[in-house]
Structure 1
Amino acid sequence: MRSSTAASGYKNTEPIIGILTQPCTECPGRSYIGASYVKWVEAAGGRVAPIRFYASDAELHRLFKSVNGLVFAGGLTWLWLDSPYVIAARKLFNWAVQANEAGNPFPIHGTCLGHQLLHILAANVSRNDLLVETDAVTQPSTLIFTAAANTSRTLKDLPSDLVAKLQDDKLNIAMQNHEYGIPPHHYQRWPLLGEWFNVLTTSKDRKGLEYISTVEAKKYPFTGTQWHPEKPTSEFGMIEVPHTLDAVRVGQHFANRFVDTARYSSHKPSSPEQELAVLIYSTPPVFSARFETMAEDNYDGPYVTYYFDQKTKPPVGPEDDEHEGGGGTPDLASRATASRSRMAASRRAAAAHQTVLA
């Protein structure tokens, strides 16, 4: 890298963060990345390289050695243990563990679906067992801090006013947007999770169900948020996203901590030409909000999106329920109806809550 790093102890000051693409469902590409994750990394001084989940093992490893950190983004992909997406994520996760064990820091951050993915990879537990349904779609919420938060790498220097505001149910500056979550008692059911992670915060859905909302790995620079630190700065497709200065400050804090850790990674592309080739900037972002309708059962459509490659076969995505309920054949119409009902109920609850606050 071009910048001087001697005084800081950094291995580089222009880190590249890999973001694992997700299967595309009804969109002009084989896979995608929501631009909000790219902007989140860039706001903290990083650059982004897309990592296609269907890349060959050789290509995955080459890209891993070219980037300084990894983001598992939020989305609507099913996290089956045998899905190509999870298989690719597991390879990257294992290589990251090996790099950290060898003394070469390599951070991973997982948001929402990515937070759940980190737990699945750590414990090798089926998502049907690990996750429970939550009523937390389009729900600005609070964080409930645990004792572990006081000494965590991620939260110990979070400004005290933001700690207070994140717990204030009149402000609700942590954006939740998920149908599933991990309840705290699952750390007792699968003790390996407690060996892997410290729980820094929990949250509650609209019905009072408590779930784990922020974690930090004990041995490695891995973090997970069930909520979305990237949405306040650059997602405008749903009115529930908080866009206050405080919500932006919280998201920026998490981005700064994550990207700064990546500056200590010594990974780099094999040449200046390869460095330019891996970056996302050869792919134009698309203002997807202009042509993608936010369907009730597709509640996380990005405002701006990067699409990659042409479809080669029907995608494996949220509509692929072949594993649901232990592998039986689902009633897709009933599932879609249920999903729409949950979405509509969530929006009604959010609107009622906003009316009360007003």
Structure 2
Amino acid sequence: MLSVIIGLDWTYLGLECAGLFIVFINSTYKSVTSPCFLGVLAQENLPGDQFARGSSYIAASYVKYLEGAGARVVPIRINRTEEEYVNIFYSINGCQSTAANDAGDYFPIWGTCQGFQQLSVLTANKNLLTLTDTKAVALPLTLTPAAQSSRLFRSFPKDLLQSLAEENITSNFHSWSLSFRNAKLKRFYKILSTNNDGKKEFISTMEAYRYPFYAVQWHPEKSPFEWIDKPGMVHSSSAVRASFYTASFFISEAMKNHHHFSSPLEEERALIYNFSPVFRGIHAVFVQNYYFD
């Protein structure tokens, strides 16, 4: 089951958050074990990265985050030819988000950080972001009444939900946050949690009412796999458990879709295993990166 992570050019919004917009589409050649393959979109290399090779990268923490919950990862490289992308999307039977889901095809979508913000822009058709003091800070979630019965959180153990609500265990690395200003957005998404930087309240977790679309402003992948010593990085057992349950939930959603590659060979050629991560130092923003031409 292939999942694809897709991003857009954010320069027109002036966004600074290091994150991904994730569109997961479950697709696999049906084998005996039926593994779940999740695709991750590479990003342009960060300015000043002395370890950079080629033109793009994927932080290994995203790969480990998904693999740790039982998935296998497929890198989706940027700046490829149109023909190559046509072949990729032909293999996964397209990516038409809401239209595909309306047609009865279950296409889960996940957004993290900038991906969360991007989903809000695509839904509201306007920029609803506001500046907040949330760069490198760990926060508890203010869970809404809808959270406990939500698809995302209802399978979380009660003690873990309590930890999410009471402990500073969600890593935030964003300068922009999502306000409540748009009625269309609130009709499309159920708000599961909010946060407050001391002055402004913003949405931090949401899921669509009608579609398997999910988004978090915080970074569930950082706690188990990134080790830079700075505020916002939390490695407690509660934070690591939250990471696992979040990834596990989304993989269970992706497995409901039954698109397929044309052959096992096509799957093998697509895997992240064809590339080696580069160690950037234990105190780097990303401990390991995969680099691509």
Structure 1 segment 99-110 matched on structure 2, within 5 A: 99-110=100-111
Partners of 1:105 and 1:265 within 8 A in 2: yes
Name which of 257, 261, 271 aligns with 2:263: 271
CA deviation profile, 1:315-351 (whole Å, cap 9, x unmatched): xxxxxxxxxxxxxxxxxxxxxxxxxxxxxxxxxxxxx
SS of the residue 1:243 aligns to: coil
Residue 44 (structure 2) pairs with residue 23 (structure 1): yes
Residue 157 (structure 2) pairs with residue 178 (structure 1): no
1:279 and 1:104 map into 2 onto residues whose CA distance is: 24
Name which of 139, 142, 145 aligns with 1:141: 139
Residue 85 (structure 2) pairs with residue 60 (structure 1): yes
Structure 1 segment 1-358 matched on structure 2, within 5 A: 1-3=30-32, 13-26=34-47, 27-66=52-91, 95-125=96-126, 129-168=127-166, 171-184=167-180, 186=181, 190-205=182-197, 207-240=198-231, 241-289=233-281, 301-309=285-293
SS of the residue 2:265 aligns to: helix
**Letter matched to residue 272 of structure 1:** P
Structure (1/2) with the larger strand percentage: 2
Per the alignment, do residues 308 and 124 of structure 1 end up closer, same or farther by CA in structure 2, a change over 3 Å counting? Answer: farther
SS of the residue 2:281 aligns to: helix
Specify the alignment match of 1:333 in structure 2: none
Q: Percent identity?
A: 38
1:30 and 1:99 map into 2 onto residues whose CA distance is: 32
TM-superposed deviation, 1:148: 1.7
CA deviation profile, 1:222-274 (whole Å, cap 9, x unmatched): 11110011111101123431111111111111101101111121122212211
TM-superposed deviation, 1:117: 1.3
Per the alignment, do residues 58 and 199 of structure 1 end up closer, same or farther by CA in structure 2, a change over 3 Å counting? Answer: farther
Per the alignment, do residues 59 and 98 of structure 1 end up closer, same or farther by CA in structure 2, a change over 3 Å counting? Answer: farther
TM-score with structure 1 length normalisation?
0.67
**Letter matched to residue 2 of structure 1:** S
1:64 and 1:44 map into 2 onto residues whose CA distance is: 25
CA deviation profile, 1:151-171 (whole Å, cap 9, x unmatched): 210012221111211121xx3
1:38 and 1:25 map into 2 onto residues whose CA distance is: 18
**Structure with bigger gyration radius:** 1
* Cα RMSD after superposing both structures: 2.1
Per the alignment, do residues 247 and 66 of structure 1 end up closer, same or farther by CA in structure 2, a change over 3 Å counting? Answer: farther
1:61 and 1:132 map into 2 onto residues whose CA distance is: 36
2:112 and 2:179 map into 1 onto residues whose CA distance is: 16
| Runs (4+) off by over 6 Å | none
Structure 2 gap segments, 5+ residues each = 1-29
1:25 and 1:176 map into 2 onto residues whose CA distance is: 19
Structure (1/2) with the larger helix percentage: 1
1:146 and 1:176 map into 2 onto residues whose CA distance is: 19
TM-superposed deviation, 1:63: 2.5
Per the alignment, do residues 107 and 274 of structure 1 end up closer, same or farther by CA in structure 2, a change over 3 Å counting? Answer: same
2:138 and 2:209 map into 1 onto residues whose CA distance is: 28
Specify the alignment match of 1:343 in structure 2: none
TM-superposed deviation, 1:65: 5.0
